[in-house]
Structures are given as C-alpha cells and as structure tokens.
Amino acid sequence: MSVVEPLVGLEDIEEARRRIAPVIRPTPVHRSDNLSRLVGRRLVLKPEHLQRTGSFKIRGAYNRISQLTGDGEVVAASAGNHAQGVALAASLCERRSVIYMPANAALPKVEATRAYGAEVRLGGDTVDDSAVEATLYANETGAFYVPPFDDLLVIAGQGTVGLEVVEEAPEGAVVVVPVGGGGLIAGVATAVKARCPSVAVIGVEAQGAATMRSALDAGHVVTLQQVNTMADGTAVRSCSDLTLAHTRARVDDVVLVSEEATSRALLLLLERAKWVVEPAGALALAAVLEGLVPGDGPVVALCTGGNVDPLLLTKLVEHGLSAAGRYLRLRVVLGDRPGALARLLTVIAASSANVLEVAHHRAGVRLDVTEVELLVVLETRSPAHREEVLSAVSAAGYEASVA
C-alpha cells in the first residue's frame, strides 16, 4: 500500500509569510520591455537573486529553523545556496550551525557561509557525499538536520514567493519556476493555484539533471546515476516523495532546457537587465526564450539565485556569447608561405568579423610539410553572421571547419 504524502496548504504558506516577514528582503517584480520584445510576449521577472544570501533559500530555512524547540544546533549539506540560507537563519535564531560542503565547493560560497556564522566542514566530491556526512553528524550529536526541500515547513517558506508573485504580477497567465529537488515549485504551485487556479505553473530543469521530469514519467522517485549541468543550484540526483506529490497535484508541466539555452538566458539577463544571475536562476527565462512555455499571455519567470563564482562567471559569459553566435572558432589549413595569413585575414575583414586570437599549429596535426593549421577566434554579431563568415572563407578556397 502506497503512502499518501501530506501536502502544504495555503494557510501554511500565509503563516510562513507572517513568520519570515521580519527577516527577508522585498524583491518586487521587474517588467522588462526589452526582454518582452525578444520573447514575443509580456515578460515579468521575479528577482530572488536579490534576496538575502543571494537566493530564495532563506525563506524555507528560516521558516523551518524558527519553529524548532530547545536550543540545539542545526546541520545541513549544500554546495552553496541552501548552506548560506541555513547559516543565516540559524544565526538569526541564535543557534549554532554546522554545514557540510563538497571539497570542491566554490570559495566565495564557502566564505559567505562562514560569514553568516556557520562552521563549514569540507569533504567528499558531491553534495550527496556531504548529505551523508551531515546525516551521520545529526544522528551522532542530536543536531537537527535541515533538508533543502524534503520538509513541509521548508516548502511553505519557499511558497511565500508564490504569494508575492500573484500579488505583484496579477496579469501573469503562466508562472515558470526552476526545479532542483522540488521544494520551490511545490510551494509556489500551492500558493498560485490556491489564489489563481487558472494560472499555469511550469517547472524547468536542466537536461542533464532531469530529476523531477524522470520521476513524473516513471510515476515514482528516480535516482539518476549522474547529473551534468552548469546549473549546479539544481544539480540533485533525485527529488523526494513529498515534492513529487506536490508537483503531480499542482504543477501543469515540467520542461527541459539545454546548456546553450541557459547560457543565452544568463547572458541576456546580464546585458539587458544588468543582473548577475547564476545558471540555475536563469532556467526559467531559458524556457521562455526556447518557446517551451505554452500560450502567448504574460509570463512570470523566477530568477532564483545569484550566487556564482566570479571565475565561473567569466567562463559562463564566454559560453553564452558562443551560444548566442557571438564567437566563431575556425580551424583553417593554408600554405606555409609568406602572405598566406594576410590573404586569409583580408577575407575575414571583408566579412566584418573581428579577429580576437590567432594560433599556428604545425606539430601533432596531419598536415603536409608545406602546410600549417591556424586556429582563428573571431567575434561575430549573430548565428547568421557566423555562417556568412564561414561561407566566405570556404568560398575563398580555404579548408575551414568550426573548432
């Protein structure tokens, strides 16, 4: 006999809002005319990356920790956002916190977690490894383990985002929510459907971390063998029975987006909205840009977090520029004689592409002794311009390919 999971109700979320009101930061929605024109429908953004600790996680963490009795410590496992939310919530509730993080966790996230008052313990390769250690610590010491999503009070806290969305953007016909373990979409869908039953709620996962989509398709929780996505804030191997039950009951659909779409969305938010959003926080906009959100009415996209390592941000911007057709890396074979490079660059210049880098390769490639291979990195304007440049180089008689 299957277990029927309890579901959070609207009253739980309203109570959570009263509870967390003194500690959270207002994040009023932003209506973007530029991005609306790009996606072909009215777009409203909810900037939870501007929330305290840089993500929505403080909402659920504080709602959960503030309801604990006694004065014991709390423990959690996370690579970043949940860690910071728990650390700050514990400090606000005057509790000690211990956070287990993977050994390769980004240094800015580790330092931020410590700055919020937590003792950070590094070890293991993944968040799953950290969760095992955190659970063992809780069992050995009696500390309360604060889960990132598998908890009714955590879900209710995250659901306060949904209450704000329906009040701040009453015109919204669809609400789009990034999905990791499912705590956020469980709470948001509960609030939205209770207040506005006709509004659709669409979840978005990275193709390389499709935990909720896999569970919905299978009819039960599925543990993925591996996850592979730049959206590390949603890179979990499984949802939970609790979040799956909420999703099945209250979410209209869960769609998947590619890494390239996520990069383009992140770059657009940086360029057009002047927002630094982490990859997981850009998933909702990516789904809208890719035409994966049904209808043509106003859509509300949640930007859930902005905790991104500056070193990673540099790589993400470059990836986004490439995905948006702003870079072209060409391998070109030409004769190793005076003037050959100048003639190639003349063809490229006539195509209005800007040369960023040129590298010669002779060793380790299959070339005639009279030939040289060039790697040329170009700045282009769009995917169409990239194709124009490639065609022009090929038409000039060069053996060229995209690197």
Question: What tens-digit pLDDT sequence spans the chain (403 residues)?
Answer: 456 679 999 999 999 999 999 999 999 999 999 899 999 999 999 999 999 999 999 999 999 999 999 889 999 999 889 999 999 999 999 999 999 998 888 888 899 999 999 999 998 888 888 999 999 999 999 999 999 999 999 999 999 999 999 999 999 999 999 999 999 999 999 999 999 999 999 999 999 999 999 999 999 999 999 999 989 889 889 999 999 999 999 999 999 999 999 998 998 999 899 999 999 999 999 999 999 999 999 999 999 999 988 877 888 777 777 777 788 888 888 887 888 888 888 988 888 889 888 887 766 567 777 788 888 888 888 888 888 888 888 888 888 888 7
Q: What is the pLDDT of residue 337?
A: 84
Residue 173, C-beta contacts closer than 8 angstroms, at least 6 positions apart: 198, 199, 200, 295, 297, 298, 299
Domain with CATH 3.30.70.260 in the chain: 325-402
Q: What is the pLDDT of residue 398?
A: 84
Q: What is the pLDDT of residue 1?
A: 42
The model carries a pTM of 0.85
Tell me phi and psi for residue 176, to 5 degrees.
-115, 130
Domain with CATH 3.40.50.1100 in the chain: 10-56+153-321, 58-145
Q: What is the pLDDT of residue 117?
A: 95
The CATH homologous superfamily to which domain 325-402 belongs is: ACT domain (3.30.70.260)
Q: Of 399, 388, 266, 379, which is closest to residue 329 (Cα–Cα)?
A: 379
Alpha-carbon distance of 250 to 362, in angstroms, equals 60
In which element (H, E) is residue 60 found?
helix 57-65
CATH of 58-145, one of 3.40.50.1100, 3.60.20.10, 1.10.150.120, 3.40.50.620: 3.40.50.1100
Whether CATH 3.40.50.720 fits 10-56+153-321? no
Distances (CA, A) of 261 to 114, 320, 341: 33, 8, 35
Residue 149, C-beta contacts closer than 8 angstroms, at least 6 positions apart: 60, 155, 180, 181, 182, 183, 184, 186, 239, 240, 242, 243
Q: What is the pLDDT of residue 400?
A: 83
Alpha-carbon distance of 180 to 42, in angstroms, equals 26
| H helices, E strands: number in the chain | 15, 14
Residue 22, C-beta contacts closer than 8 angstroms, at least 6 positions apart: none
DSSP letter, residue 79:
S
Strand pairing partners for 358? 376
N-to-C CA span, the chain: 55
